[in-house]
Amino acid sequence: MQDLREMARKRLPRAVFDFFDGGSEDECTLRDNRHAFERMRLAPRVLVDVSNVDLTTTIVGAPAAAPMLIAPTGAIGSGWPQADLAIARAAAKAGLPYTLSTTATSSIEAIAEGAGGRLWFQLYVLRDRDFTNRLMARARDAGYEALVVTLDLATGGKRERDLSNGFTVPLRPNWRLAADFLGHPAWLWHMLRAGAPRFENLDGLEGMAAPDASIAAKVGQNLDAGFDWQALRRLREAWPRKLIVKGVLRGDDAQQLAELGVDAIWVSNHGGRQLDGSVAAVDALTDVVRAVGSRIPVILDSGVRRGSDVLKAVASGAQAVAMGRATLYGASAAGEAGAARALDILQEELRRAMQLCGVPRIAELGPDILRLPTSAERGVR
């Protein structure tokens, strides 16, 4: 995966790569998401027949080729034209669910028509309730099987790389960005040929056309900071299909969400892109799984870069793991082929890790193969 990341870094202007790669403020949570996985250790079983490893599983009530899915990633058409569609198609061919972001650069309808496979729509709850309801109706009418409501974004995070680079969507180059863009002719040719990417699902939303605001600022000023438990209950009643809630890091919140009637809980700190200093997602996973028990499935994202990370998360109680940056690096390097290669790498690594751990089937992954760090090793006092 590191090779795909490096290919993307070389191909993209610095401002675009930093938007994909970076986190908020000092990026402590961004780093700790990786460190948390790296601190976990495996205790392999021996003398187990692992000549045939089966990755197939169930994700939120339907079959999947592996315990993996695609996390929502916004504004990614600035890396590769129609990158959303490229990743969605790669996911469909791999037999994995795909989640389209509210801030995608392809529309809800275009993905439904062009991708196939299992489609979920990630919803930012906006202050404009009518606009939010229209987004939900469009996803319903287009046949999306699940709505993923993001709960951890009452306002936009402070992404200092983007502020420093002056990165916006639509792309509006100043003299420094222009020099950055001209230094990456292959990327620039693709962008000029395809046209500037736009937030296709947010056309007509007040403030999204502001030329000089960062992406986080544009989205943040439109978010409904008053969205609460009662509002979520009303949304649950309005949405007729699977409802998944994303951005949960606490067991007490997870328990209440299960009682409210959501269909799955998605443990996430937004990939380290919002609240810097929040707990690493995989460190929060055990508390959430313990709180909901077997009532509803739990999904995890943030920090996943290896197939062994998927194994660790599933062994910790996650039903599936969502990837954002992995397929984004692949798509930014080589479009759909790059995204497909990222998924191939992750599945190959997961299969190998299961063989080396003596686990032939996903259903047999459990906490007995893990050795978790102590509080001292995690830096907790």
Catalytic residue annotation: 270
Q: What angle separates helix 251-260 from helix 281-292, to the nearest 10 degrees?
A: 50
Is residue 315 within 8 A of residue 369, CB to CB? The reply is: yes
CB atoms within 10 A of CB 136: 19
